[in-house]
A and B are shown apart, each in its own frame.
Chain A
């Protein structure tokens, strides 16, 4: 095997990992959009909070790492629920632009909150992991191919998490209500269902996934600070639009494709490294021009 093909295979794994993380975040955007037609711009920052929750659970509350992550998943879910309750629920019947502006405001608020309470300096899980920090550095070697253990873990956990998500959405009662709400909110309430609770659950579910993605992000790229969620949040948003916003399958497909395209471009054309982020936006512009509804999105008819 020559060096190039080794590099390509290694980076395929990298692409899968980054793409999976985009997918985990993108499903949060797409679920909220599917229900409220709202882009929750605070979603990337909710992911950042997920990282901090896990970090402080381990550092301050002395939880074992695994337990800290579980704590973070629940805490972030509650945060997502509260963001909806406090910021978006009062605006359910307001013009959509008001909710959108509120979402941007919520994003700034969470970022500033993190700066004030957690500090603007970089933090890292490395020290907190102590003897367990080997999970970050250990690698598997197959022939000439070297793959970090953490990359494989991230890919596996991502797949497993997405499976659970699809199970919840397509096989459970609350998932059925979520799908019903995405089609018709008033009629769902006619079924005796408290729509606001289901919407709150959707926010909680999306935020829990963002927390999982966030912790894995912070393990793979070990420094984080209050704006860490901004970039992956933006990319995941692009992934959701790429795949067809409002479509769960679309968000997953868009996430993986965006991750793979990004990493592969850098692998094949290392000189364009600095323009990596620009490619994501190029994809966004292209998809909006060629197929605005995204790869798997249905063309929506706006009723006038």
Chain B
């Protein structure tokens, strides 16, 4: 039986040393949707994604994925369950070629034929990567690295892809391209949990959004609604 909600976060608390970074948030990610967490620096967005991915441990609360409790599971188990993270700062492997980076994403898969198809699929999303296939990851430009980080995550064939600031540091043209690709990935069946400081871009492609402030959710609603919200406009849209 498939749950309607692919991911549910209940009363999540995360500490970074003595800092209470996430203070009891509740987030629901319905299957097949794009959900966004927006907020300023230090609001706890990255911490939330890292905690779901198993990179940091939570003190309290539950993370339910496909009906299974994955709270504080090691990150490789979380990935095998079907969650991929495009980490903050891309974190591509600089000493591996573009091809090897992509194969790292598909490391645990055995379906060789499908892997080939998916490789062609990510190359159709980002044709530039195909031109750079045997180049070392570290020699790519920032935008290309972001494309590679997204593609690498897709190569694990996740049910849920989480992206941490995919538009950060990109030229405006590329920002639009990245958001277009996110929509495309989503339309082909992958659920997306997005974290962004670029609130306009993120909310305009999102089905639902949460606004985080110093570890708490202060506002939530459908993407378009949040875009019109006066407080959001003032605080995050610079209008």
Cβ of B171 within 8 Å of any chain A Cβ, yes or no, is no
Of B15-23, B104-112, B229-237, the segment with at least 4 beta carbons within 8 Å of chain A is B104-112
- Please judge, given known A-B contacts A176-B103, A176-B104, A180-B104, whether A190 and B93 are in contact too, CB under 8 Å: no
Bound-state Cα–Cα, A261 to B94, Å: 34
- Give A172 Cβ to nearest chain B Cβ, in Å: 11
Least CB separation from A173: chain B residue: B107
Within 8 A of A (CB), among B144-183: 152, 156
- Within the complex, which residue of B84, B94, B95 is in contact with A190, where a contact is CB–CB below 8 Å? B84
CB-defined contacts of B85 to chain A, threshold 8 Å: 190
Closest chain A CB from B78 CB (angstroms): 8
Query: Of all chain B residues, which has the CB nearest A298?
Result: B95
Distance in angstroms between the alpha carbons of A188 and B47 in the assembled complex? 18
Count of A interface residues, CB-CB < 8 Å:
18
Confirm or deny: B39 has a beta carbon within 8 angstroms of a beta carbon on chain A.
Answer: no
- Given A176-B100, A179-B96, A186-B55, A192 and B91 contact (CB-CB distance below 8 Å): no
Interface status of B75 (Cβ within 8 A of chain A): yes
Q: Which residues of A contact B (CB under 8 A)?
A: 173, 176-177, 179-180, 182-184, 186-195
Which residues of B pack against A, CB within 8 Å? 53-55, 74-76, 79-80, 84-85, 87, 91, 93-96, 100, 103-105, 107-108, 152, 156
In addition to A173-B103, A176-B100, 18 A-B residue pairs with Cβ atoms within 8 Å of each other are: A173-B107, A176-B103, A176-B104, A183-B94, A183-B95, A187-B87, A187-B91, A188-B104, A189-B54, A189-B75, A190-B55, A190-B85, A191-B76, A191-B104, A191-B108, A191-B152, A193-B104, A193-B108
Q: 22 A-B pairs, CB-CB below 8 angstroms? A: A173-B103, A173-B107, A176-B100, A176-B107, A177-B107, A179-B93, A183-B96, A186-B91, A187-B87, A187-B91, A189-B54, A189-B75, A189-B79, A190-B76, A190-B79, A191-B76, A191-B105, A191-B107, A191-B152, A192-B79, A192-B80, A193-B107
